[in-house]
Structure 1
Amino acid sequence: MGDTTWLNWTQYADHGPNESVLGPVAGRRVLELGSGSGSNLAHLVTLGASGLGVDIAPAREPVARERWGGLPGIEFRTAEATEFLHETDETFDVVLSIFGAVWFVDPDILLPLIRSRMAPGGILAFSHLPPGSQEPQSGRAGVRYDRTPDEWERALTTHGFSDVRVTLIDPPEGRSEGTMLARALAA
């Protein structure tokens, strides 16, 4: 992590774009899928958003609550992303996933669910390592949905998103792995 609440799209602290990828967040409802310790979501809340962080790991919620629970407009839940999206009736203006659920859940299941919970014109943004940057893993916990930028563009468009942009962020000097960043609008 970089500064206390600095949003990190990449795996390197203080590297890559900032929250401007999401457009203005003040007054918007934000959902983070795979919120971890809550730092990225907390940063958006300090900018005027209200935020809900969902993470599948039970140990993450108490850590996030301990660190960020005092911020007005922030909450955390332990849930699997597709189950949460099936059960909630909330609508979100911004959905983000930084090395989170979008990388680990079948996009043909997850993307339509995300789209169904988004306000018209809402923004979906997510990041993860580029395809082929890690050895394949077996078992449910190790499955990653590595897609090329073109494959993500097709998947997002197919599932109701427009103005899709998928870019590769070069790593900082001395590092070998970059980061893929996708952004799309709810059509």
Structure 2
Amino acid sequence: MRAVGVDLSVKQLDKARERWPGVDGMELHEADALAYFEDTVAVFDAVYSVFGAAWFTDPGLLLPAVHANLKPGGVFAFSQRPPVEGCYGCQASYIPRGPDEDPAVVKRWDYEPAVWEAILKEQGYADVSASVIDAPPGSRRTGTLFVRGVRGIRGVRGSS
């Protein structure tokens, strides 16, 4: 197996190295996910974004780039927080930094499950599903939005 991790954050990549030391076939890249998919010729069985690129990258750009890098029957799945009711589309997140720094402004894309399904289908994905998984019992109250689609015919590398 070959597992590839892509993240802008060196800290996140370091956490992966600490959590899975010595895993054969693991590659970690400090990069923007969209740029990685646009620049690589690699083709994947599955791509999974965990509260990451699929949340913070324009789906009109990311979804076709991922689709083009999936094998026939390949799966793209992603998870993120469900949208806040009434706050859909591109939203701004303010990420705290150091005490003497202004917060970082980061864009994120929030849609209800049915809208995510329509967006993936428009981008050529098949067998699309999207739903909110309830949070486990405990202090956390917000569930997780989980979206999944299979590579369809449109946008396949090397096809017309």
Residue equivalent to 2:148? 183
Unaligned stretches of 5+ in structure 1?
Answer: 1-48
DSSP-derived class of the 1:142 partner: strand
Give me the CA root mean square deviation: 1.9
Q: Offset at 1:70?
A: 0.5
Question: Which residue, 65, 79, 84 being the options, matches 1:127?
Answer: 79
Number of aligned residue pairs: 138
- CA deviation profile, 1:138-171 (whole Å, cap 9, x unmatched): 5674211001111101110011100001111111
Matches within 5 A, 1:155-174: 155-174=119-138
Tell me which structure has the larger Cα radius of gyration: 2
Does the 8 A contact of 2:56 with 2:109 survive in 1? Answer: yes
Distance 2:132 2:41 in 1: 34
Separation in structure 1 between the aligned mates of residue 131 and residue 71 of structure 2, nearest angstrom: 24
Deviation of 1:68 (Å): 2.2
- Structure ranking higher in strand proportion: 2
What is the TM-score when the length of structure 1 is the normalising length? Answer: 0.68
Structure 1 residue 66: Cα displacement: 4.0
| Counterpart position of 1:149 | 113
Of 80, 92, 114 in structure 2, the residue corresponding to residue 137 of structure 1 is 92
TM-score, L = length of structure 2: 0.79
Q: Does the CA-based 8 Å contact 1:69-1:75 persist in structure 2?
A: no
Structure 2 residue 61 is the aligned partner of structure 1 residue 117: no
Q: Distance in 2 between matches of 1:138 and 1:186?
A: 30
The SS at the match of 1:144 is strand
Unpaired stretches in structure 2, ≥5 consecutive residues: 95-103, 153-160
Report the Cα distance in structure 2 between the residues aligned to 1:78 and 1:117, rounded to whole angstroms: 19
Please identify runs of 4+ aligned residues in structure 1 that moved more than 3 A: 135-141
Q: Report sequence identity in percent.
A: 39
**1:77 and 2:29 correspond:** yes
